[in-house]
């Protein structure tokens, strides 16, 4: 049975905003739409990859007759820190890696899992075995076939105790691993079975939600060539010269050169297994936010990478919207901003009525409207609104209501002599201005509040030490709803020392439930308890501001930093230049 297994929860209006680029000023502070219906196939054994559109259908959908040749220049703010698919520890490096080295799956236009190196996959009845079928025509850039042995070797490397990698969490579910590593002296991964050259099976320690598996292992692990790296000692892996000159990769464009801090040049892979790309070249330029708009206007760059690595500066947004040679779009991504609350034992914020009062008392819509010119959405939780797991019932709760805030303060016995502190990182303009609005709002409630500004590492340390009342901070991660690291007792990023037993139980139950619909019900309940307990003050989801030159066809931005690249082989330029 063919079924599209999706992370999307967007309705038609949001799809038009994110994907068709019709309106630049989407959001306007309005809450996201309700989730789309869950696909009809609910048994994991029935879930396989949706089919890609045929070349003929893609050609018919394109604007005008496709022109072969030419190049596209993508602008991002900072240089990559290498091209190592195992350890590219910035979004800038991962952006380039995602073009060069392919994962098993990818997101399509509708934020559904679609084939990449894997043509299809099956999942057994109890969600413990995941079998992927590789495209038999896939080749490395040197002509060597891509096989299941390369996939196995990639996981072998990630799980090796001596190899430096940040992909460990993506494979930690595999049978035989301790955390994400193999026990000392164990040379194989128990949870991998190579069936034949183009078929590989992953075996989990425990049942796992297919959506989590497909995102973490399918989308977020980039496969690299075994025949290039197998003779390299594990201790030398991370610093091997191949990661600076990755000429043997698998994507639609090949690595040509990197001019340090200036640009990366990629050329067409004529033998790309999903069809020869239309463009001759892709250039990724490193530009400053201050010069990006001028270069877009002059046609020196074609696309703002957006996704947090190359967004249009808000101060330049109206100027970009007025440019005749580009289409400006804004879209909701997976990052949000919030006010962390100090809930350490002995803190004054142990009473949830006080935490609720803060939320009622902060004019979050004013922050969105005044600081972001409407290019944001008021937040009401920690689950990404454009995913299947989002619960729309949280929308509209805790609107700006100073009188309700005062009532809760009185009920909880607020001490008007208490002087609270909000700490803010220096250099983040929006956070600094948000702090001013928060201070003004809470002062009107009779709360004495001061602002302390500091560098970000100091803010994190102050948060860990409990030396604050509120701290302005942000978060962005996977679309999967497992947020234990932030909000479960003892979580790695639980800087607010949050410890709420009901949240702990729901988070643990959600993380260990394999059935997707059952898991959604758990996270729906989690979100309602979360918004009632208010362990943080969720502020806003800023929209990403992007622009694409009108000569570029078939390119559009969607959620996640690499979402833009999902169909880069299908891009073409009207002038062929």
- Quote the CA–CA distance of 155 and 171 in Å, as a whole number: 7
- Quote the CA–CA distance of 344 and 236 in Å, as a whole number: 43
Contact 478, 505 (CB under 8 A): no
Question: Which of 533, 361, 364 is closest to 447 using CA atoms?
Answer: 361
Tell me the whole-structure pTM to 2 decimals. Answer: 0.81
pLDDT the model gives residue 228: 97
pLDDT the model gives residue 387: 86
- Quote the CA–CA distance of 65 and 50 in Å, as a whole number: 27
The token pair at 136 is: 């038999």
pLDDT the model gives residue 14: 31
For residue 392, the tally of other CB atoms under 10 A from its CB is 16
- Quote the CA–CA distance of 338 and 474 in Å, as a whole number: 6
pLDDT the model gives residue 347: 94
- Quote the CA–CA distance of 392 and 390 in Å, as a whole number: 6
pLDDT the model gives residue 492: 83
- Write the DSSP symbol of residue 204: B
- Quote the CA–CA distance of 16 and 13 in Å, as a whole number: 5
pLDDT the model gives residue 44: 28
What is the H or E stretch that residue 192 is in? strand 192-196
Q: Provide the β-strand partners of residue 449.
A: 420
What is the H or E stretch that residue 105 is in? strand 105-107
Domain limits of the chain?
335-543
Domain spanning 335-543 has what CATH number? Answer: 3.10.105.10
- Quote the CA–CA distance of 512 and 207 in Å, as a whole number: 8
Pairing of strands 376-378, 536-549: antiparallel
- Quote the CA–CA distance of 202 and 182 in Å, as a whole number: 15
Residue with tokens 């739409």: 33
- Quote the CA–CA distance of 528 and 382 in Å, as a whole number: 11
Contact 139, 271 (CB under 8 A): yes
What is the H or E stretch that residue 91 is in? helix 91-100
The token pair at 104 is: 């098993």
For residue 53, the tally of other CB atoms under 10 A from its CB is 16
pLDDT the model gives residue 64: 66
For residue 182, what are the CA distances in angstroms to 131, 188, 220, 229? Answer: 21, 8, 20, 19
Cα end-to-end span (Å), the chain:
44
| pLDDT, one tens digit for every residue, the chain (577 residues) | 233 344 443 332 333 223 333 223 232 332 222 222 222 222 222 333 333 333 333 444 444 699 999 999 999 999 988 899 998 877 899 999 999 999 999 999 988 899 999 999 999 999 999 999 999 999 999 999 999 999 999 999 999 999 999 899 899 999 999 989 999 899 999 999 999 999 999 999 999 999 999 999 999 999 999 999 999 999 999 889 999 999 999 999 999 999 999 999 999 999 999 999 999 999 999 999 989 999 999 999 999 999 989 999 999 999 999 999 999 999 988 889 999 999 999 999 999 999 999 999 999 999 999 988 889 999 999 998 888 899 999 999 999 999 999 999 999 999 999 999 999 998 778 889 999 999 999 999 999 999 999 998 899 999 999 999 999 998 887 889 999 989 999 988 899 999 999 999 999 999 889 999 999 999 999 999 999 999 999 999 989 999 999 999 999 999 988 999 999 999 999 999 9
Quickly list H helices, 347-468.
352-361, 364-371, 402-411, 429-444, 456-465
Compute the chain's Rg from CA coordinates. 24
Q: DSSP letter string over 305-364?
A: --TTSSPPPGGGHHHHHH-SSEEEEEEE-SEEEEEEE--STT-GGGSHHHHHHHHHHS-H
């Amino acid at each position: 049975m063919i079924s599209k297994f999706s992370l999307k929860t967007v309705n038609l209006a949001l799809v038009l905003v994110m994907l068709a680029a019709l309106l630049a000023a989407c959001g306007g502070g309005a809450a996201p739409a309700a989730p789309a219906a869950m696909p009809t196939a609910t048994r994991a054994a029935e879930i396989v990859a949706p089919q890609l559109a045929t070349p003929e259908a893609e050609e018919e959908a394109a604007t005008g007759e496709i022109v072969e040749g030419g190049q596209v220049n993508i602008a991002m703010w900072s240089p990559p820190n290498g091209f190592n698919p195992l350890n590219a520890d910035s979004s800038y490096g991962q952006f380039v890696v995602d073009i060069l080295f392919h994962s098993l799956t990818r997101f399509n236009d509708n934020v559904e899992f679609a084939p990449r190196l894997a043509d299809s996959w099956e999942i057994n009845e109890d969600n413990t075995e995941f079998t992927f079928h590789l495209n038999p025509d896939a080749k490395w850039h040197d002509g060597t076939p891509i096989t299941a042995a390369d996939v196995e070797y990639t996981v072998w490397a990630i799980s090796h105790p001596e190899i430096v990698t940040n992909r460990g969490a993506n494979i930690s579910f595999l049978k035989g691993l301790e955390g994400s590593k193999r026990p000392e002296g164990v040379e194989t991964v128990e949870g991998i079975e190579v069936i034949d050259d183009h078929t590989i099976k992953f075996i989990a320690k425990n049942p796992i939600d297919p959506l989590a598996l497909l995102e973490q292992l399918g989308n977020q692990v980039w496969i690299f060539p075994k025949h290039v790296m197998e003779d390299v000692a594990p201790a030398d892996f991370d610093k091997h010269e191949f990661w600076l000159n990755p000429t043997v990769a698998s994507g639609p464009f090949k690595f040509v050169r990197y001019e340090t801090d200036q640009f990366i040049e990629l050329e067409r892979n004529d033998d790309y297994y999903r069809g020869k790309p239309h463009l001759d070249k892709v250039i990724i330029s490193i530009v400053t936010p201050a010069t990006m708009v001028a270069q877009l206007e002059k046609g020196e760059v074609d696309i703002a990478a957006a996704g947090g690595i190359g967004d249009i500066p808000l101060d330049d947004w109206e100027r970009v919207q007025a440019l005749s040679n580009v289409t400006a779009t804004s879209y909701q991504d997976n990052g949000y901003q919030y006010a962390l609350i100090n809930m350490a034992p002995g803190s004054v914020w142990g009473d949830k009525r006080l935490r609720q009062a803060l939320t009622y008392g902060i004019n979050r819509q004013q922050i969105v409207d005044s600081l972001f010119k409407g290019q944001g959405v008021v937040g009401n939780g920690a689950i990404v609104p454009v995913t299947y797991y989002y619960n729309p019932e949280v929308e509209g709760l805790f609107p700006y209501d100073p009188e309700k805030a005062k009532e809760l303060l009185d009920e909880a016995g607020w001490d008007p002599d208490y002087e609270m502190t909000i700490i803010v990182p220096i250099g983040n303009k929006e956070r600094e201005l948000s702090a001013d609005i928060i201070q003004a709002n809470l002062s009107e409630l009779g709360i004495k509040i001061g602002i302390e500004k500091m560098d970000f590492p100091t803010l994190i340390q102050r948060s860990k030490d409990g030396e604050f009342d509120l701290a302005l901070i942000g978060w962005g991660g996977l679309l999967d709803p497992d947020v234990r690291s932030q909000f479960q007792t003892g979580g790695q990023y639980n800087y607010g020392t949050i410890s709420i037993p009901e949240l702990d139980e729901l988070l643990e139950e959600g993380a260990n439930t394999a059935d997707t619909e059952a898991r959604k019900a758990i996270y729906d309940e989690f979100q309602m308890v979360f918004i009632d307990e208010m362990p943080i003050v969720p502020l806003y989801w800023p929209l990403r501001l992007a622009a694409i030159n009108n000569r570029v066809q078939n390119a559009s931005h969607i959620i996640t930093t690499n979402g833009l690249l999902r169909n880069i082989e299908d891009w073409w330029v009207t002038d062929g230049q």
